[in-house]
Structure 1
Amino acid sequence: MKRNFTLLLLYFFLIFSPNIFSQNKPNVLNSFANRVFSGKGYQPLQDLKWKFKTDGKIFSSPIAQNGIVYIGSEDGCFYAIDEKSGNLKWKFKTNGAIHSSASIYNDLVYFGSFDGHYYAVNAKTGKEVWHFKTKGEHWYSEIGMWGMKPSDLLMADLWGFYLSTPTVYLDPTTALVIFGSSDGNMYAVDAKKGSLKWNFHTKAAIHSTPLLEKSTVYFGGWDGVFYALDCKTGKEKWKFSTEIKTGFTGIQASATVSDGIVYFGARDPYLFALDAKSGKLIWKYNAENSWILSTAVIKDHTIYVGTSDTYALLALDAKTGEEKYRFKGNGYVYSSPAIAGNTVYFGDFTGNFFSLNLLSKKEFQVTPTENRTKYAKTILNNDLLDFSHAAKATDLSIYAENQRVMNEFYKLGPIVSSPFISNNVIFYGSADGYLYAYNLRKAK
């Protein structure tokens, strides 16, 4: 009888203690939270597994789970694609371009659209669970930006490619979806219902993806300020201001935290390392008048991050910020790198995708988009991105001429999407409208 009673107590303990066997890391997947994937040795691209065509440019980044790859397109649709075959599983139509990447939690996919809504969609069926209306999503804009003409025209920033990607905060009693908005707010909504829990207002649009570390959310905005908030309440813990100057204002990059230090890039143009608790500056790296839009990735105490005008993937010492080396691409490197084994993967604005051996630093593979191969000779200057060359002596003080040059560059299939690796296959999007899936070569 005593034995039966003990077994009964054990039974109730197991039933009513749901967290006893819970995983240390909840099942939350985010495009930017962890860019280091499993892998061995040097694994460049082997062959094209498949490619999936959308009807618009792809600026968002893919994410894969349970055999399905998810990505949004400028055509206004969010796609779920079979990881093995490249066939469409379902698509969800919004009324605006989708430049936000996705997060997944409990079979729900979260993403935002330029139609002014953030969505929660069933990951298996594509059916909407809820949507949250912001005060409007738009490209960052200024009147007469950087002194361009006409001076009274409201001009969209031509390099503001992304909307904020939602992230999921969990504690024993709370599940919140947290994301930034063009209306200047950082929002936290209930993960199941989409109801507002808190919002934090800044002075400009927030298009970066918030980083959640323990109970703190870190992010920067177009006001040039980097913030640390309490995840549960939205109250400010500290803030850090970058420089504000013409052409070099704003934070688009998402942050990374490692060993008590938070790292992020800005347009001002520096990569910053701050104490994660206090926000005090530890060091900053001068990016030589190059914006840093990509998320820094850290492996073996080395930071890997892309730059704009120097066309570089930088390798910096995480403790000191000292440059170890740089690898030069052919154009702006806005794609956030992915690392697997000894290989770092990233794309550039000319449509090249690079697989670089981190051990040799000289062994690399270049995989161009089909459009790059087709248009490179007529658009690029000695295979390099050159704004003045593409402008063909037109007046670049006129905003419309800058738009025209960017449209020329888009013919190349620029890669501003950040790669994602699943089951030894790498996925990335391109402005040519394709989601690419390449098998990775097995390490020797």
Structure 2
Amino acid sequence: MKKHLLTFLLVSLTGMLVAQPVLQWKYATRGRVYAKPLIHENRLYIGSLDSVFYALDKSTGSKIWEFQSDGAIGSSASISGKLVLFGSADGNLYALDTNSGQPVWVFSSGGEKIKDIWDYYLSSPVVSNGVVYWGSGDGHLYAIDADNGKLKWKYKTGGIVHADPLVTDSVVYIGSFDGIFYALSADKGEEIWKFRTVGDAYFPDGEIQKGAIIDKEVIYFGSRDYNIYALDAKTGRGRWNMKEYGSWIIATPLSWKGNLYFGTSDTHRFYCLRKSDGRIIWSIPLNMRVYGSAAAHEDIIWFGCFNGKLYGVNYATGKILYEFATDGCKTNYSSVYQENNEFRSNFELYGKDYLESEKKIHSLGSILSTPVIENDRIYFGSSDGKVYALKLK
């Protein structure tokens, strides 16, 4: 076993002893943190549902500056030169000076819209060749000049666009809540092809909530119609799909060593599939949802769960090797779960009081944030309002 720095051993969901990474620092915001951290040079950039965008020292967690927007920030950030960009629930895309945290330009969409209480994320801007691509709840994908914030083109879909764009040199790909995955020319926004998800009796639209990845001319993404899809990037034709009966697949999959890794919503599982044909290599049971994407470090796949725990599993077997509990999880886990890690008898996830149940779940310090790994440290946000930095070695 590698010489990871550990504080102590604890018992995982499987009943096996697992190791816990060392906490390096944590920073408390005033709202839930769903965004993926952005590491750039010596800083960590991240937004919170408190409507504030933060620049932190990545080594210490000390605040360098903060910027107050007019809406909750469920968007991850991107860098373009000396600008850091992010979207807000106020319908704006902000470009801030990385040194001062002051706005250089602000682009306003037609306004944000949320599908339901499980529509947690906003589209994150992606910068390519001096152009910012960004989706909005108004149903558009926007292409914006990164230098001055002026609109270059926009494309209207038939639904909310909260997925992150996927951009190659000449094509931008985007999924929408209309259940269609689009391929557009990056320079003009002209349609190249589109693919409609299969849909399900309960979710006929097959909404696409999060972003896609591309690997060797194949695109992979999940949908609310219970499917994960593999498409030919050139033609948009389906290669294969895997249906997880009874569960949305929200998380953008991770491609690693020939396989795909992702978690599910309502079946509470984490999967490893073979990329070439979608064959299941392994899956492990959890006791809550996974919406954030996974990250890989050597032979370990790291991902967060709504139960407030960050897991590190062996990429080949799925064996849980590491586990870290957020502060919210440590404080409130027993209010939702019994000692056997099953729901308490008085807790009903989707009952008549589902709104209250969702609040209770988030009190666990749910990890919807996709972790980022750099130099043997892993960074992520949590619903307990904190940003965490852990040492992996």
Structure 2 length normalisation: TM-score?
A: 0.92
2:45 paired with 1:70 = yes
**1:176 aligned residue:** 131
2:31 paired with 1:56 = yes
CA contact (8 A) 2:338 2:344 kept: no
Cα distance change, pair 222–187 in 1 and its aligned pair in 2 (3 A): same
**1:337 aligned residue:** 294
**2:90 aligned residue:** 115
SS at match of 1:365: strand
**1: distance between equivalents of 2:147 and 2:238?**
38
2:107 paired with 1:132 = yes
Count of aligned pairs between the two proteins: 377
**2: distance between equivalents of 1:376 and 1:361?**
24
**2: distance between equivalents of 1:360 and 1:324?**
8
SS at match of 2:347: helix
2:153 paired with 1:194 = no
**1:82 aligned residue:** 57
The residue type paired with residue 129 of structure 1 is V
Instruction: Give CA-to-partner distance per residue, 1:288-338, whole Å, 9 cap, x none.
Output: 221111111111210111111122221101001000001222210111000
CA contact (8 A) 2:21 2:323 kept: no
SS at match of 2:54: strand
Alpha-carbon deviation of 1:387? 9.7
Instruction: Give CA-to-partner distance per residue, 1:53-80, whole Å, 9 cap, x none.
Output: 0000111111111110010000000000
**1: distance between equivalents of 2:261 and 2:164?**
18
The residue type paired with residue 386 of structure 2 is Y
CA contact (8 A) 1:116 1:133 kept: yes
**2: distance between equivalents of 1:264 and 1:385?**
30
- Which 10-residue stretch deviates more, 245-254 or 197-206? 245-254
2:202 to 237, 243, 246: 246
1:418 to 370, 373, 386: 370
**2: distance between equivalents of 1:166 and 1:383?**
41
**2:14 aligned residue:** none
**1:353 aligned residue:** 310
**1:148 aligned residue:** none
RMSD: 2.0
**1:236 aligned residue:** 191
**1:14 aligned residue:** none
**2: distance between equivalents of 1:111 and 1:385?**
38
Cα distance change, pair 317–360 in 1 and its aligned pair in 2 (3 A): closer
The residue type paired with residue 155 of structure 2 is F
Cα distance change, pair 250–383 in 1 and its aligned pair in 2 (3 A): farther
2:256 paired with 1:304 = no
Gaps in structure 1 of 5+ consecutive residues: 1-39, 141-156
Aligned sequence identity (%): 36
CA contact (8 A) 2:379 2:388 kept: yes
Higher helix share: 1
- Which 10-residue stretch deviates more, 292-301 or 246-255? 246-255
Structure 1 length normalisation: TM-score?
A: 0.81
Alpha-carbon deviation of 1:243? 3.4
2:349 paired with 1:409 = no
1:268 to 225, 231, 248: 225
Larger Rg: 1
Gaps in structure 2 of 5+ consecutive residues: 6-18
The residue type paired with residue 109 of structure 1 is V
The residue type paired with residue 134 of structure 1 is S
Runs of 4+ more than 6 Å apart: 40-44
Cα distance change, pair 301–77 in 1 and its aligned pair in 2 (3 A): same
**2: distance between equivalents of 1:233 and 1:381?**
55
**2:10 aligned residue:** none
The residue type paired with residue 134 of structure 2 is F
**2: distance between equivalents of 1:269 and 1:363?**
25
Cα distance change, pair 41–179 in 1 and its aligned pair in 2 (3 A): farther
Alpha-carbon deviation of 1:385? 6.5
The residue type paired with residue 178 of structure 1 is Y
- Which 10-residue stretch deviates more, 63-72 or 235-244? 235-244
1:435 to 380, 384, 387: 387
Instruction: Give CA-to-partner distance per residue, 1:136-155, whole Å, 9 cap, x none.
Output: 11321xxxxxxxxxxxxxxx
